[in-house]
Amino acid sequence: MAPNKVGLSLVDRLRAFQRSNQANKRCADCPERGPTYVCLDFMVFVCQTCCGLHREFGHKIKSISFSEWSEAEVAKLEEGGNEAARTKWLDRWHAEAFPEPDGGDVEALREFIRLKYVEKKWFRPHGKAQTSETIKAAGPETPAATVGYEAAAPPSAPSQTVDLLSGGDPDPTPAKAPASVAKAEVSDLLGGLDLGQSEEQPWTADFSNVSNLAPKAPVDLGAGAGLIDLDFGSSPPKAAAAVPESDAGLVGARRPRLEPPRRKPFLGPQGETLRAVCSAILVVELAERLCYYALAGSQEFFLEQLGYSAQESAGLNSAFTTLCYVWPLLGGYVADAYLGRYHTIIAFTVFYLVGVLLCATAAIPSNRDVTNYLVGSMGFLALGTGGIKPNISNFGADQFDSRSPEGRKAREEFYTQFYTAINLGALLSYGFLTTLCSSGFPGVVPPEMGYCTAYFLAFLAMLVALLVFLCYSGHYRCLVRRNSGGDAIRGVFLHVVSATSHGSLRALMICVGFPLLLLGLLLTVVIALLPGPGIGIGVLGAVAVLAGLVLATIGCQGNLSWVHERAQRNSHVTRQQTADFLRVMPTLAAVNLAFNSLYNCMTYWFQEQACLMDVRLGKFQLNGSFFNVADCIAIVLLTPVLLQYINPTLERFCGVGRHGRLLLGIALAAGSVASAAHLEVMRRHARPLQEASQCAPPGRMMSSLSAWWMVGPYALMGAAEVLVNPSLYYLAYSQTPLRLRSSAQAMNLLMSATSNALFTVLTAILGDTRLRRAQLEVGYYVSLLMAIPCVCWYVLVQCSWEERFFDETDSDLGEVPAGGQLNKGVAYQRTGMLRDFVSPQSPGGSPANWVDNSPLSSGASAFQSAIDDGREDESSCAFVLVSEEPIPR
């Protein structure tokens, strides 16, 4: 019965009709409650997952809240609904033959919808609607679809069985049907008319005795005899088969074909296999970082030996880092749009191996070639890093089943273990390979062979890691998109451009800001490659980077309703996914700039400072970058303590969550830089030694102040990294839609490249005066000042931040409230400065009966796509359809 329509808008009428019928409160095709879409082809209410599956088959979908409705559409829906459609499309369905899939198995749900609507496997045009009396008579344990099946079935008396090939006669005494089963109308093939033959029993043919066929003499059957009265064999009449009481009413009806048992969906590696798979992934990251830090920690000194000045070598090293963090844009794009993470990792690892091999051959003393070295490091190796970095951590996180709280927690802890693997690689590199580069290994490797030997060892480590990764290919859990319809980043770009063309100022700021940012990054790389007069270009690049970053992040900040209001639909991603992707960018930019403006001091200046101090170990001199081992050891030792004690204590007693840890990490990084500045003042006032440093520019004497004092600043920076970088990795993964996670990780690395680019310009401006006048503390103070506005910016972003959980699904949602849509599948947390305040939760942990009224998602959840984002005459729905499959061996 339709609700009262007086004084209601069309959308209110839809919601009222949905609440008036119990069947409409759950999805028509799965157990999900609180459906928010309507399939116009069948006039049913469906959930987020099923709406995407329907659009795969070309069915027209509309959102209850976001679409425009006509009077005719609403009236037609009020005449139908889930109950009427179930009776019509599942009239001959039986749960034993094909169980109703749950919402978690997308493949089974897709097959169910195909059989139900496309193949019309259980369709009956004029099936009777269920009544409350029919449901009550069926008993509490009988599914509703079974009730409809039995109500529409013929009377339960067994059919007369005639063996056409063996002479069997109809059984004259059929079993009596239970009186409680109603008779069904007999329909002809032309329109379901009642032909008045309901008393006649149907018959079925038995071809089981075809092998006993024998010719017989003609038999006179008398007048009026028909074909079914002929006797073709001599076997005795067959008795009717006994019909179980539970199947009464099904005899004579066309039963559905039994489907073969479905293969259990692959949910990812479990137990020891999961540990082995994650270890293989971590080995790749460890080896990649070992190679990267072997070059980053030694190439500045290597380039000085090839004739570059200290300024030029530092600029090239900074440009190398910038390129390594810009190329991930390409790596994330390739993974999200074409190859997937697994194949992207393998392909770009090959580029990486070629780059390390080129650097190793270019460092052979008899054949040193700076051109081959720069092509290998800034070309192939930087490109390989760009393909591995945005995908390897996400690929590891994909191995965990996030449907349970334990799985989500294990996945978050994986990022901390991932960062531990990074620093184990850095520990091996700084602790051994960088010193091997500059000083060789006594009695084994002479100093002149140090660089090529270290680079060859790094190449072998990366090759072994690739082989280990390939050995577990049959056990990985990969997310494979079906009928993708395009790539995600292109969809985001089309949304922003179309919103700009429709007059959105903030979209215009993004369109101008990001190209300007990339141009500025290019100019900062150019300044590193040009000789001395490139300072002006560097300043121009810094201005372009800052202007582009400010414009782009302002466009992404705050209320993103312009995406829904101005952007045109496309088949790549939904407008809601674009908004969810853009909202993370200001946080990534603010934290990266604030932290990396301090972290870059350790990367570039700490080792220079250590080289000007006393680096002697007996008669052997350590490389200045050796003291990076303090940073790595601090991370390795602090990681288990952080996971087991520090984080739980901060969360339990202080309410400090991820955002509080980020601020605490930035504070520790500032303390590290301040302590390094104090040590630099002490070094300048210390007595100089009469021995030159092997890792400083030629002719520079060491100070009497021991370089082991640098362990303190390095260790403090390591503690800061443990708090900041894993949190940023997990933020980029968990707070963005599934299809855009590699791209979000690439944007996170791009923000790191931005800070490196600004640091390159700062290095060029200060120039060699730092080394001539020995006043490194000036650069430290400038870095501390740069971090202050970035921290303030992050605090402003944090004030309006909302936590969202894109992997959670909730099947316990109740009615749709009149004030707006429920946030299906997304739990929100309004966060404070240091403390994360949990959103209102139901006893089961789901955001039941709570409406989010934030500017972005008022009237719709963040996980819910605007369903009209795809043209209604198209069948692509790439944004929700993923299947979890193992990679074939």
Whether residue 21 is contained in a domain is answered as yes
Total number of domains constituting the chain:
4
Do 217 and 125 lie in one domain? The reply is no
Amino acid making up residue 162: V
Say whether both 225 and 274 belong to one domain.
Answer: no
**Residue that terminates a domain, selected from 431, 460, 480:** 480
Q: Which of 478, 480, 401, 410 is nearest to 809 (CA)?
A: 401
Residue 224 and residue 292 in one domain: no
Supply 579's token pair: 């908004």
Same domain? For 238 and 141 the reply is no
Please tell me whether residues 459 and 412 are part of one structural domain. yes
Instruction: Judge whether residue 211 has pLDDT over 80.
Output: no
Max mean pLDDT range (137-146, 749-758, 873-882) = 749-758
Place of tokens 């190859």: 339
Number of neighbouring beta carbons within 10 Å of residue 857: 25
Structure tokens at 238: 């067959």
Please give the structure tokens belonging to residue 634. 């601090």
**pLDDT tens-digit series, residues 372-398:** 888 999 899 999 998 898 888 888 888
Task: Lay out the sheet containing 37-39: strands in order across.
Answer: 44-46, 37-39, 61-63
Q: How confident is the model at residue 485 (pLDDT cuts 50, 70, 90)?
A: very low
User: Considering Cα of 40, then 45, then 49, then 53, what sign does the dihedral take?
Assistant: negative
Query: Is 397 within a domain?
Result: yes
> Is the pTM above the cut of 0.75?
no
Q: What is the pLDDT of residue 713?
A: 92
Tokens standing for residue 844: 């089961």
Q: Please report where in the chains the tokens 């829906």 appear, as a residue.
A: 77
* Within-domain flag for 171: yes
Rg (CA), the chain: 35
pLDDT above 50 for 875: no
29 and 47 part of one domain: yes
Tens digits of residue pLDDT in 725-761 = 888 888 888 888 877 887 888 888 888 878 777 776 7
CATH of the domain at 118: 1.10.220.150
- Residues 223, 314: one domain? no
Any domain includes 656: no
Token pair listed for 605 = 């200046």
Question: How far is the C-alpha of 742 from the C-alpha of 340, rounded, in Å?
Answer: 9
Cβ atoms within 10 Å of 689's Cβ, excluding its own: 15
**371 vs 98, more confident:** 371
Same domain, yes or no: 458 and 472: yes
Domain boundary among 151, 178, 208: 151
What backbone phi and psi angles, to 5 degrees, belong to 829? Answer: -135, 125
- Residue-range definition of the domain harbouring residue 235: 156-252
Looking at residue 764, what is its pLDDT?
66
Which helix or strand (DSSP H or E) is residue 590 part of?
A: helix 585-600
Q: Are residues 51 and 71 in the same domain?
A: yes
In this structure, is residue 513 part of a structural domain? no
Identify the pLDDT of residue 461.
94
Nearest to 125 by CA among 200, 192, 44, 217: 192
Asked, for residue 186, whether it belongs to a domain, the answer is yes
- Using CA atoms, how far apart are residues 780 and 802, in angstroms rounded to an integer? 34
Instruction: Based on the fold, state whether residues 203 and 280 are members of the same structural domain.
Output: no
Which residues share a beta bridge with 706?
Answer: 614
Q: What is the pLDDT of residue 281?
A: 92
Residues 98 and 79 grouped into a single domain: yes
- CATH code at position 414: 1.20.1250.20
Which pLDDT score, from 0 to 100, does residue 109 have?
86
Is residue 862 over pLDDT 50?
Answer: no
| Residues 270 and 248 occupy one common structural domain | no
- Strand pairing partners for 33? 26
| Residue 544 · residue 835 · CB < 8 Å | no
* 272 is a domain residue: yes
CA pair distance 403, 102, nearest whole angstrom: 14
Residue 42 lies in a domain: yes
Q: What is the mean pLDDT of residues 49-72?
A: 85
pLDDT tens, residue by residue, 665-686: 999 999 999 999 999 888 888 8
- Of the candidates 151, 178, 211, which is a domain's last residue? 151
Percent of the chain surpassing pLDDT 70: 68
Q: Quick one: what percent of the chain has pLDDT higher than 90?
A: 10
